Amino acid sequence: APPIGSKTGGGGAGALSMLVDVPKQVLVTGASGRTGFAVFKLLWENQKEFVAQALVRSEKGAKMLEKLGASVGDSESIKSSNAKLRALGMPAEDEDPDIFIGDILDGDSLAPALRNCDALVICTSGVPQLRKTELFKSILSKLIGRQRMPKFYYKEMPEQVDWEGCRNQIDAAKEAGVEHIVLVSSMGVTPAKNNDDNILNQIGDGNILVWKAKAEAYLAASGVDYTVIHPGGLLNKAGGEREIVLGVNDELLDGYEARGATRAIPRQDVAMLIVQALRHKELVTNKSFDCVSKAPGEGRTTVSFAPLFEALS
Ligand code: NAP
């Protein structure tokens, strides 16, 4: 378990948190994914403010979090020998897990991970896959001067992951008394952009934006305070080096240049936005916003996030 922040008793920590700064207990799902991991790492590194918990699908996924010092908790055999020691009146402490192994398609695996949590950050998503032969065909086509879009496929379709899996998480969070859900979705979900021509919907015949929009609507109707973040194209670049530009209703899809921005944003910067949204819950409650960034060196590096949130309509 984290050395500083302790499990807070979450959901019901309200009265106590008015007197002292009780760390927020936050579950990040998809924490072995690229954005999810970045969020978990930031929370883990800020243990005075947050008690970070992660949901991953496999032990392999847990490994990268364990490198930060997070733990899947004691094994069943240690737990049972600890229980025997306690029964004899001897001291034995179970180590609470920071990492939970579960599948969002199995609603039952979510409750233990959400127990006592104040907030949930949803970073799970269907992941488009590319067969090597497809890549090879596209490279060959390029060599002979022809454009060919490689065909992607999903192991699990967005209908399952981005809709049913998301709905399971929202239901489980509500049941657990979670007070804030932050959902990472995507730009392009507004009706004007979310159509058959949208390349994101065409990938792997997944209609990913359609299912993401459905999940957003379900979240908005859930009654739990929420924040939805719609990133532009995600980059595996350093965070904290760019000016972040926020917008609403997909206006940035056509209007990013007018704002001096690119259409993309580093995953690290999205992770920081999520952490700031958790910090400034009152400014982002029941809001959905889009995010892109300026190129490094353009504009002013964003260091203060509250004014960005306050400027959202
Ligand atoms: P990512 O690396 O693709 O991670 C997705 C995560 O979801 C993985 O950790 C995966 O687990 C997990 N997951 C999938 N199915 C699951 C299941 N059934 N149970 C539990 N976990 C499951 O994510 P990303 O590329 O950083 O994207 C983050 C978000 O931004 C996504 O919602 C994405 O759609 C959205 N977005 C992406 C772009 C872009 O340019 N790529 C643009 C805008 C928005 P495993 O590690 O076990 O597979």
Q: Report the range of poorest mean pLDDT among 16-20, 55-59, 76-80, 152-156.
A: 16-20
Phi, psi of 229 (to 5 degrees): -115, 125
Of residues 16 and 214, the one with the higher pLDDT is 214
186 noted as active-site residue:
yes
| pLDDT higher than 50, residue 2 | no
The rounded distance, in Å, linking the Cα atoms of 27 and 94 is 20
129 Cβ inside 6 Å of ligand 1: no
Q: What is the CATH number of domain 24-126+157-311?
A: 3.40.50.720
Give the model confidence (pLDDT) of 85-119 as tens digits.
889 998 877 678 999 999 999 999 999 999 999 99
Q: Which of 115, 230, 103, 110 is nearest to 170 (CA)?
A: 110
Q: Report the range of poorest mean pLDDT among 77-81, 250-254, 265-269.
A: 77-81
**CA count, 13 A, side-chain hemisphere, 36:** 25
pLDDT averaged over the chain?
92
Q: Which of 186, 182, 178, 166 is nearest to 277 (CA)?
A: 182
Distance of CA 192 from the midpoint of ligand 1 (Å) = 24
Atom 8 in ligand 1: which residue has the minimum CA distance?
A: 33
Residue 19: predicted pLDDT: 61
Distance of CA 249 from the midpoint of ligand 1 (Å) = 22
Atom 1 in ligand 1: which residue has the minimum CA distance?
A: 33
Of residues 287 and 15, the one with the higher pLDDT is 287
Q: Which run of H or of E encompasses 101? A: strand 99-101
Interhelix angle 208-220/166-176, nearest 10 degrees: 20
Q: Cα separations (Å) of 134 from 1, 150, 202, 206, 306?
A: 44, 6, 16, 17, 45
Instruction: Give how far the C-alpha of residue 181 lies from the chain's centroid of Cα atoms, to the nearest Å.
Output: 10
Given the residues 185, 186, 288, 293, the one annotated as active site: 186
Atom 37 in ligand 1: which residue has the minimum CA distance?
A: 234
Atom 19 in ligand 1: which residue has the minimum CA distance?
A: 103
The rounded distance, in Å, linking the Cα atoms of 153 and 21 is 46
Read off the pLDDT band of 40 (50, 70, 90).
very high
Q: Report the range of poorest mean pLDDT among 27-36, 134-143, 252-261, 287-296.
A: 134-143
Read off the pLDDT band of 80 (50, 70, 90).
confident
Distance of CA 15 from the midpoint of ligand 1 (Å) = 35
Pocket-testing residue among 58, 125, 209, ligand 1, by greatest number of atoms within 8 A of Cβ:
125
Contact between 110 and 102 under an 8 Å Cβ cutoff? The reply is yes
Whether the CA torsion 21, 26, 31, 33 is positive or negative: it is negative
Task: Determine what percent of the chain is predicted with pLDDT higher than 70.
Answer: 93
Distance of CA 20 from the midpoint of ligand 1 (Å) = 35
- Reduced to 3 states (helix: H, G, I; strand: E, B; else coil), residue 252 is helix
Of residues 184 and 140, the one with the higher pLDDT is 184
| pLDDT higher than 60, residue 16 | no
292 Cβ inside 6 Å of ligand 1: no
Atom 43 in ligand 1: which residue has the minimum CA distance?
A: 186
The rounded distance, in Å, linking the Cα atoms of 271 and 23 is 18
Residue 15: predicted pLDDT: 58
